[in-house]
Amino acid sequence: MEKKKRLTRAFFARDGITVARELLGKILVHETPLGTVRGIITETEAYMGEEDKGSHTYGGRRTDRTEPMYHKGGTSYVYLIYGMYSCMNIAAMREDIPQAVLLRSVIPADAQSERIMLDLRLAPLNQKRKRAGKESNIKKHLADGPGKLCIAMGISRSDNDVDMTKSKEFYVTEGQEIRTEEIKAGKRIGIDYAGEAADYLWRFYL
DNA sequence: CGGCTGATCGTG
DNA sequence: ACGATCAGCCGA
């Protein structure tokens, strides 16, 4: 396993759009009970603080839930959505500036990660119904959505408000070089209520 | 592939 | 009440 450098505070202490673009190709690492999971980040969204109608912090909503967004760049923000899924974000900028990047999609960085992701993804489904044969379909959609990403990487609300520039279990490392022409931009997903902000091209993917 | 629906619960 | 969602199911 080649050694990759961990991303430092300086990386995250920039505006959310820059961090969102530059996180593409980087590797999210999480220590789980099943082993170390590494995912190459392939899709992100920027949430740009108190002026962004799409953001939880719009209008200065600094609450217990949104508090991690106000923390230093590199702080995790994991919240429960629709009562049953988690969404994983990393705060950008500095203390009191609540910009953040939603991680929407990763692909496994190695064979061990792929195996663990599959196990973690199958577990809840097996519980619901004794359905075999779903494996091939799950493999095609291992972590291609914010909820699926969290399940596949074993991320839950216990991973909220972690300083990812310091943690030994939860951090981001350098990955593969991405040329700017490989980065595509689109509208953010699932924020139709956000008025004109729903049309901003703040979603980035490879 | 695109569209629709039920599931489920912490937060404000 | 309401989601920064997902799986399952339907029809084309």
Nucleotide with the nearest C1' to A57 CA: C4
State what percent of residues in chain A have pLDDT above 70. 96
Can you give the distance from the CA of residue A205 to the C1' of nucleotide C8 in angstroms?
27
A131 pLDDT higher than 70: no
Bridge-partner residues for A203, per DSSP? Answer: A45, A186
Give the pLDDT of residue A44. Answer: 98
- CB < 7 Å to strand C — which of 173-192 in chain A? 188-191
Nearest Cα neighbor of A204 from A25, A46, A80 is A46
User: Which pair of structure tokens corresponds to residue A206?
Assistant: 């490879």
A1 pLDDT higher than 70: no
A126 pLDDT higher than 60: yes
Summarize pLDDT for A12-44 with one digit per residue, the tens.
999 999 999 999 999 999 999 999 999 999 999
**Chain C footprint bases within 7 A of protein beta carbons:** 3-8
Summarize pLDDT for A48-92 with one digit per residue, the tens.
999 999 999 999 999 999 999 999 999 999 999 999 999 999 999
Q: Say whether the CB atom of A127 is under 7 angstroms from strand B.
A: no
**Chain B footprint bases within 7 A of protein beta carbons:** 7-12
DSSP chain A: ----PBP-HHHHSS-HHHHHHHHTT-EEEEEETTEEEEEEEEEEEEEEGGG-TTSTTTTT---TTTGGGGS-TTBEEEEEETTTEEEEEEE-SSTT--EEEEEEEEEESSHHHHHHHHHHHHHHHHHHS---S-HHHHHHTSS-SHHHHHHHTT--GGGTT-BTTT-SSEEEE------GGG-EEEPPSS-GGGGGGGGS--EEE-
Nucleotide with the nearest C1' to A128 CA: C7
What is the rounded average pLDDT of the residues A85-105? 98
A134 pLDDT higher than 60: yes
Give the pLDDT of residue A129. Answer: 58
Q: Say whether the CB atom of A86 is under 7 angstroms from strand B.
A: no
Phi-psi region of A60 (alpha: psi -120 to 50; beta: other; left: phi over 0): left
Summarize pLDDT for A158-178 with one digit per residue, the tens.
999 999 999 999 999 999 999
